[in-house]
Amino acid sequence: MCGIAGVFGPDQPDPDRIARTLALMGRRGPDGRGVAHLGEGERRLTLLHTRLAILDLDPRANQPFRRDGLVLVFNGEIYNHVELRLQLESLGQSFATASDTEVILAAYTQWGEACVERFEGMWAFALFEEASGRLLLSRDRFGEKPLFWWRRGRSLYFASETKLLWSLAGTRAAPDLEQVTRYLVNGYKALNKRPRSFHSGVVEIPPAHQAMLERPGDPLPRCYWRLAYVPRPMTMDEAREEARKRVIDAIGLRLRADVPLAFCLSGGIDSGVLVSIAAKAHGAEPHVFSIVDSDPRYDEMVNIDRVVADLGCHAHQVHTARDGFIDRLRAQVAYHDKPVITINYYMHAFLTEAIREAGYKVALSGTGADELFAGYYDHYGMWLAGMSGEPGFDALVADWRQSYGAFVRNPVLQDPLAFAKDPDQRGHIYLNQDLFESFLAVPFHEDFAEERYCDDLLRNHMLNEVRHETILVTLREEDHNSMMASVENRAPYLDRSLAEFLYTVPSRHLIHQGFPKWLLRSAGEGYLTDAVRLDKQKRGFNASIESLVDRHDPETRDYLLADSPIFELVRRDAMESFLSGDMTDNSFSKFLFSFISARLFLEHAAS
């Protein structure tokens, strides 16, 4: 895990800008740094790299890395580098390091741009051909590693974080106020519907895309992989057996490291299956880290204690507190150079700090399991819609009432037949949209829309989550939080083989006898204690805004209502009334956090 940055074109940064940028990249890579000046004329290139050493800790693996007339800066991990190395050696390649970095260059020499189709892992890299002067920018399938670009003058700037672009260019892009407004009113699921960021003119290379640049200019990324729903006939037992095998293999592959590993553990199925399979199937000795919240709605300690007791593993608890909330969030927003998207990503930063303080450089989490195995509340409702008309449908609804239906708080989703009645309704996503729009100083409205990828209601919704709505947001937040603490975050469920298989499973097999994520629960059978594996309540990292900020405290209210750029977007009188109201509605709590986070971002951008 590392930081990368570069400038391609005739306008190159001076030594002071390069030094400042490397310093800003220090948290992404405290174990080494390097610079390469390449090319000539309009194809001049400066590449910067800072290293967080995980594989082959020797300085010989530092970057920028040169081999066979190629120069590479790389952020991420190629987990199947061992198998690729053996294959490449059989084809006549030899290696000077044990790093996955060198494997990328050898693979490119052997197979060209198509080499990424053979990689299993997470990456963002820039690869330069010295002979031709061409530059390849590439990003992994799910977008685990970020890669931003910004065209400025005659040169193209690219980096792992937006603030690195500003440092290299000597100026910063203006905040995209429409994107900030979109975030406030419609939430995080609206942010990636279009190729934009929180800064005007700054764009990310999309996941599963890469762009070959013959000369400086706007990249034209080409898609090299696309997840699609292609169901094939199979029994439930066949689906369970194959899913179990691929989950175990995906987790094992992501245990490869030359440093110790830590695990994020909530009270839910995703992290419980992950840590239990790592321990019992692969012999790992996990050290787990968990968030503890005083709000009973988010208290997960019963299940966390069950897993810890079953595995006998080392456990570390991180407690939430109000003290210093604004200051902590301000520092986090400044590092992200954008709003922290939801309160659980604010909490995630506590977790990564604790992991680093305990001496770990790698943490594994259950990210992506909901989108692959069908774990959200609306997934269950859409599944029921797909099963309506089937024999025994009333029993399926009864199962829902005894599982997710007993815990769902969203008023739209409290009706198990919501999507059977209206498959196109998405009122649960933009909940209280009209109210939040009324808070605005300038009118703004966007209807929720999904791309059409297949005819299956549930799977089409899940594919939108994978490609646009949830996974991208989660990965971006987790990357920035983890790098702020110099920790590499790994997501074993975001495995190509596992994902491709799960999207061939008929949707009817995803939920069984009231158990969402049935295939993941089945994969954990014999590994995760049944007291957690067969718990039907959805759990995961979260916290209450009331546990972090006292909106009734005069000093806090004075700050929240004081002069700020945010009041160019939001009416101050509306916020004053809102702060005095009832926050038991979850969407209100989310809006308050979004308001504070957006406020801090705009103040940071103006500073």
Read off the CATH number of the domain in which 343 is found. 3.40.50.620
Same domain, 12 and 50: yes
Query: Which residue is catalytic, options 2, 115, 264, 313?
Result: 2
Angle of the 236-253 helix axis to the 269-280 helix axis, nearest 10: 70
3-class secondary structure, 50: strand
Rounded distance between C-alpha atoms, residue 249 and residue 30, angstroms? 31
Per the rule left: phi > 0, alpha: psi between -120 and 50, beta: everything else, 41 is left
pTM, rounded to two decimals: 0.95
**Residue 188 within any structural domain of the chain:** no
pLDDT recorded at residue 295: 65
Q: Which residues contact 165 (CB under 8 A, 6 or more apart)?
A: 5, 148, 150, 157, 158, 159, 172, 173, 202
**Residue 446 within any structural domain of the chain:** no
Please give the order of strands across the beta sheet that includes 65-67: 65-67, 70-78, 121-129, 134-139, 209-213, 222-223
Same domain, 166 and 259: no
Nearest-Å Rg of the Cα atoms of the chain is 24
Is 365 annotated to bind ligand? yes
**Residue 585 within any structural domain of the chain:** no
pLDDT digits (tens, 9 = 90+) for 376-426: 999 999 999 999 989 999 999 999 999 999 999 899 999 999 999 999 999
pLDDT digits (tens, 9 = 90+) for 203-253: 999 999 999 999 998 999 999 999 999 999 999 999 999 999 999 999 999
The answer to which of 81-85, 355-359, 586-590 has the lowest mean pLDDT is: 586-590
- Domain CATH number, residue 207: 3.60.20.10
Q: Which residue has the higher pLDDT, 191 or 294?
A: 191
Q: How far is CA 116 from the centre of its chain?
A: 20
Output the CA angle 479-482-486, nearest 5 degrees: 125
Same domain, 300 and 169: no
Rounded distance between C-alpha atoms, residue 22 and residue 56, angstroms? 22
Q: Which residues contact 50 (CB under 8 A, 6 or more apart)?
A: 2, 3, 22, 25, 26, 28, 29, 30, 32, 33
Task: Give the Cβ contact number of residue 409 at 10 Å.
Answer: 12
Q: What string of DSSP letters covers 85-118?
A: HHHHHHTT---SSS-HHHHHHHHHHHHGGGGGGG
**Residue 186 within any structural domain of the chain:** no
Nearest Cα to Cα of residue 44 among 154, 149, 201: 154
Is 498 within 8 Å of 247 (Cβ atoms)? yes
3-class secondary structure, 517: coil
Catalytic (active site) residue 2? yes
- Range 66-77 burial, b when 16+ CB lie within 10 A, else e: ebeebbbbbbbb
Strands 261-264, 488-490: pairing kind? unpaired
Residue 163 identity: K
Q: Is the confidence at residue 59, as pLDDT, over 80?
A: yes
User: Final residue of a domain: which of 499, 533, 567?
Assistant: 533
Is 549 within 8 Å of 325 (Cβ atoms)? yes
**Residue 401 within any structural domain of the chain:** no
Q: Is the confidence at residue 296, as pLDDT, over 90?
A: no
Nearest Cα to Cα of residue 591 among 343, 331, 377: 343
Confidence of residue 292 (pLDDT cuts 50, 70, 90): confident
pLDDT digits (tens, 9 = 90+) for 63-79: 999 999 999 999 999 99
Q: At 318, which helix (H) or strand (E)?
A: strand 314-319
Name the CA dihedral angle for 336, 339, 342, 347, rounded to a multiple of 10 degrees.
Answer: 40
Rounded distance between C-alpha atoms, residue 246 and residue 560, angstroms? 49
| Average pLDDT estimate for 272-281 | 98
pLDDT recorded at residue 242: 98
Q: Which residue has the tokens 């209601």?
A: 457
Same domain, 210 and 301: no
Rounded distance between C-alpha atoms, residue 446 and residue 442, angstroms? 14
Q: How far is CA 136 from the centre of its chain?
A: 23
Is 351 within 8 Å of 289 (Cβ atoms)? yes
Same domain, 31 and 160: yes
pLDDT recorded at residue 538: 78
Nearest Cα to Cα of residue 483 among 580, 308, 323, 353: 353
Is 366 annotated to bind ligand? yes
Same domain, 127 and 272: no
Rounded distance between C-alpha atoms, residue 532 and residue 274, angstroms? 13
High-pLDDT (> 70) share of the chain, %: 98
Residue 216 identity: P
Residue 463 corresponds to which tokens in the numbers above?
Answer: 């594919």
Strands 203-204, 121-129: pairing kind? unpaired
Same domain, 165 and 215: yes
pLDDT digits (tens, 9 = 90+) for 460-513: 999 999 999 999 999 999 999 999 999 999 999 999 999 999 999 999 999 999
Residue 69 identity: G
pLDDT recorded at residue 581: 87
pLDDT recorded at residue 386: 97
Q: Which residues contact 157 (CB under 8 A, 6 or more apart)?
A: 5, 6, 7, 149, 150, 151, 165, 168, 169
Rounded distance between C-alpha atoms, residue 434 and residue 190, angstroms? 15
Same domain, 67 and 132: yes
pLDDT digits (tens, 9 = 90+) for 367-376: 999 999 999 9
**Residue 598 within any structural domain of the chain:** no
pLDDT digits (tens, 9 = 90+) for 131-162: 999 999 999 999 999 999 999 999 999 999 99
Is 201 within 8 Å of 464 (Cβ atoms)? no
Rounded distance between C-alpha atoms, residue 264 and residue 278, angstroms? 12
Same domain, 215 and 323: no
Is 248 annotated to bind ligand? no
pLDDT digits (tens, 9 = 90+) for 82-92: 999 999 999 99
pLDDT digits (tens, 9 = 90+) for 522-557: 999 999 999 999 998 876 556 678 778 888 889 999
Size of the chain, expressed as the number of residues it contains: 607
| Average pLDDT estimate for 108-130 | 98
Same domain, 125 and 81: yes
Number of domains in the chain: 2
pLDDT recorded at residue 125: 98
Range of the domain at 147: 2-174+203-223
Same domain, 170 and 115: yes
Q: Is the confidence at residue 201, as pLDDT, over 90?
A: yes
Same domain, 287 and 213: no
For the chain, give the mean pLDDT. Answer: 95
Peptide bond preceding 554: is omega within 30 degrees of 0, i.e. cis? Answer: no
| Average pLDDT estimate for 279-286 | 96
Rounded distance between C-alpha atoms, residue 242 and residue 238, angstroms? 6
Confidence of residue 294 (pLDDT cuts 50, 70, 90): low
Is 429 annotated to bind ligand? no
**Residue 586 within any structural domain of the chain:** no
**Residue 182 within any structural domain of the chain:** no
Q: Is the confidence at residue 167, as pLDDT, over 80?
A: yes
pLDDT recorded at residue 287: 96
